[in-house]
């Protein structure tokens, strides 16, 4: 069986009428939502736990475990779908929203039944001008059929879904910032704990899940959690929807088994490198994730396989700064948001690093000092290296700034800026040093260096 034969969410991508409720129902859609309204909440939860479904928003946290953090007998529980998708290189949720909005709504009904939710929200990125009306149409169609609102499918369940449009801030994809924004406040992350599952929207228990995470639920209910777990590998169930961009022949959105390696993804799924050039670097899951070299691509692009590897752990980026990401845990990189970026041999890695740190400096919410100041300095120093104005010692300076940010901030945007920087420095250090060597920087004349 080829990679394209097994599909859960993407089966009807590219079919023009796929977004209509009639088409979705003609393919068996909404049967699981109807069934969920008659199923005991704990039974659904047990299947989700069994499925090994892990969050597709970035961290890969097990969904069934997250749902279990909601305090028992909570009177009000909210469900919020994170459709903010602003991580550079990532465009898979946008595709799901465009082609299969009813899978998301059906998944929300399944989740709401299990969690006892009466009000759910979809927080959609403000720039998704094309997708927002499609999702709103799908919600309206579901209301018109009696699948949402009072007595969903004629049952005793009540569920309202509200589509809320963000205003274009990357930080509003971070779950606590998203909740602040949804409450009408500034999109500032909050310290965790308490986690949203305990204290979230308007102080009530709230489950925040990614679009793809939720869209998998109807399949899990239909085929059983075990079948979903069996599709996956190890502690990760199911398939993964990835968006692939960069210097490959066939960029796009693909739903793939978790066993597919980086090399297979490039050669067998994406038709190889553009112009027959060689691979130089691959970012596996959005620009927050450390970059991989060609020698590291023979690994499944799966949560655990990408995360634990000893090879990089011992590397010292610069004196006193180790490439040790995540509280002493040895990480190579992470599967992140599923946004794969492939770079060929002609890519200038210093310019690529600058583009990434510049993004984070622009998007820092400014709340905590290491991130606000550190990302600005990272961008400034990497920019001067890139523009041949680098100074001796700049590589170590960049490493020490990144090291000062990592692990010292309120939310993970700080790590998201620091980790890729340290990876670029470790793996492509020669390119940074070469640019500094050919720098046009001349120290300004001071009394001290005039004298010497
Ligand atoms: C800076 C930042 C941006 C994020 N952006 C998104 C996003 O756009 N979409 C998303 O689903 N998760 C995003 N996340 C992760 C969310 O905070 C959260 O973990 C996720 O929505 C949970 O859903 P899941 O368990 O289904 O993955 C972001 C995290 C951070 C730190
Ligand atoms: S780490 Fe950055 S984005 Fe996150 S709260 Fe602090 S300043 Fe804001």
Tell me the average pLDDT of the chain: 92
Do both 302 and 272 map to the same domain?
yes
Which residue's entry shows tokens 């001071």? Answer: 446
Q: Is residue 407 part of a domain?
A: yes
| pLDDT attached to residue 324 | 55
Do both 146 and 280 map to the same domain?
no
Do both 364 and 420 map to the same domain?
yes
214 lines ligand 1 (CB under 6 A): no
Q: Is residue 240 part of a domain?
A: no
Q: Is residue 315 part of a domain?
A: yes
Q: Is residue 374 part of a domain?
A: yes
Provide the angle, in degrees to the nearest 10, between the axes of the packed helices 131-144 and 101-115. Answer: 60
| pLDDT attached to residue 276 | 96
Tell me whether the omega of the peptide bond preceding residue 194 falls within 30 degrees of 0, making it cis: yes
| pLDDT attached to residue 51 | 98
Tell me which residues have their CB closer than 6 angstroms to ligand 2. Answer: 171, 189, 364-368, 371-372, 409-411, 413-414
Number of domains the chain is built from: 2
* Higher pLDDT among residues 140 and 446, named by residue: 140
pLDDT, one tens digit per residue, over 159-184 is: 999 999 999 899 999 999 999 999 99
pLDDT, one tens digit per residue, over 63-93 is: 999 999 999 989 999 999 999 999 999 999 9
Query: Residue 85: left if φ>0, alpha if ψ -120 to 50, beta else—which one?
Result: left
Q: Is residue 117 part of a domain?
A: yes
Question: Which tokens belong to 354?
Answer: 């600058």
Do both 143 and 255 map to the same domain?
no
Do both 64 and 179 map to the same domain?
yes
| 406-421 mean pLDDT | 94
Q: Is residue 80 part of a domain?
A: yes
- Domain encompassing residue 72: 3-231
Do both 286 and 346 map to the same domain?
yes
Do both 282 and 214 map to the same domain?
no
CATH of residue 262's domain is: 1.20.1440.230
Do both 24 and 147 map to the same domain?
yes
Q: What angle do CA 332, 333, 336 make, to 5 degrees?
A: 160
Q: Among the three residues 231, 262, 292, which one is the final residue of a domain in this structure?
A: 231
47 lines ligand 1 (CB under 6 A): no
Nearest-atom index, ligand 1, CA of 61: 25
Burial of 320 (C-beta count, 10 Å sphere; 0-12/13-18/19+)? exposed
Q: Is residue 67 part of a domain?
A: yes
pLDDT, one tens digit per residue, over 324-365 is: 544 443 446 888 899 999 999 999 999 999 999 999 999 999
Do both 165 and 298 map to the same domain?
no
Question: Which tokens belong to 140?
Answer: 């309206």
Do both 201 and 269 map to the same domain?
no
Distance (angstroms) between ligand 2 centre and the Cα of 232 equals 34
Do both 23 and 171 map to the same domain?
yes
Distance (Å, whole) CA 355 – CA 27: 43
Which residue's entry shows tokens 């989700």? Answer: 48
* pLDDT over 70 (residue 154): yes
Do both 213 and 268 map to the same domain?
no
pLDDT, one tens digit per residue, over 15-56 is: 999 999 999 999 999 999 999 999 999 999 999 999 999 999
Q: Is residue 444 part of a domain?
A: no
* pLDDT over 80 (residue 235): yes
């Amino acid at each position: 069986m080829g990679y394209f034969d097994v599909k859960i969410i993407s089966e009807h991508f590219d079919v023009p009428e796929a977004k209509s409720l009639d088409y979705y129902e003609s393919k068996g859609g909404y049967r699981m939502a109807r069934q969920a309204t008659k199923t005991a909440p704990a039974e659904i939860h047990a299947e989700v736990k069994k499925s090994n479904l892990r969050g597709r928003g970035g961290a890969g946290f097990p969904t069934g475990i997250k749902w279990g953090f909601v305090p028992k007998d909570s009177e009000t529980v909210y469900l919020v779908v994170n459709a903010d998708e602003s991580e550079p290189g990532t465009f898979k949720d946008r595709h799901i929203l465009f082609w299969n909005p009813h899978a998301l709504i059906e998944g929300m009904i399944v989740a709401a039944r299990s969690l006892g939710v009466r009000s759910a929200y979809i927080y959609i990125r403000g720039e998704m001008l094309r997708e927002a009306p499609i999702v709103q149409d799908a919600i309206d169609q579901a209301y018109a059929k009696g699948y949402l609102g009072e007595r969903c499918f004629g049952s005793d369940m009540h569920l309202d879904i509200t589509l809320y449009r963000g205003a274009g801030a990357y930080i509003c994809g971070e779950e606590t910032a998203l909740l602040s924004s949804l409450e009408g406040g500034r999109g500032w992350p909050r310290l965790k704990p308490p986690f949203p599952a305990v204290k979230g929207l308007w102080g009530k228990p709230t489950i925040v899940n990614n679009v793809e995470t939720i869209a998998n639920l109807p399949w899990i209910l239909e085929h059983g959690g075990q079948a979903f777990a069996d599709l996956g590998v190890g502690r990760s169930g199911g398939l993964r929807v990835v968006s692939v961009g960069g210097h490959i022949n066939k960029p796009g959105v693909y739903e793939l088994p978790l066993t597919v390696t980086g090399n297979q993804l490039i050669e067998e799924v994406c038709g190889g490198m553009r112009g027959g050039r060689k691979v130089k670097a691959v970012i596996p899951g959005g620009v927050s994730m450390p970059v991989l070299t060609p020698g590291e691509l023979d690994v499944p692009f799966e949560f655990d396989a990408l995360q634990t590897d000893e090879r990089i752990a011992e590397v010292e980026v610069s004196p006193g700064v180790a490439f040790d990401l995540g509280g002493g845990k040895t990480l190579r990189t992470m599967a992140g948001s599923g946004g794969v970026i492939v770079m060929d041999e002609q890519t200038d890695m210093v310019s690529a690093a600058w583009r990434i740190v510049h993004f984070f400096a622009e998007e820092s919410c400014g709340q905590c000092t290491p991130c606000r100041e550190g990302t600005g300095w990272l961008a400034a120093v990497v920019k001067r290296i890139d523009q041949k104005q680098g100074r001796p010692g700049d590589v170590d300076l960049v490493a020490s700034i990144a090291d000062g940010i990592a692990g010292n901030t309120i939310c993970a945007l700080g790590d998201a800026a620091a980790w890729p920087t340290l990876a670029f420095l470790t793996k492509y250090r020669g390119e940074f040093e070469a640019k500094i060597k050919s720098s046009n920087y001349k120290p300004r004349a001071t009394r001290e260096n005039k004298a010497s």
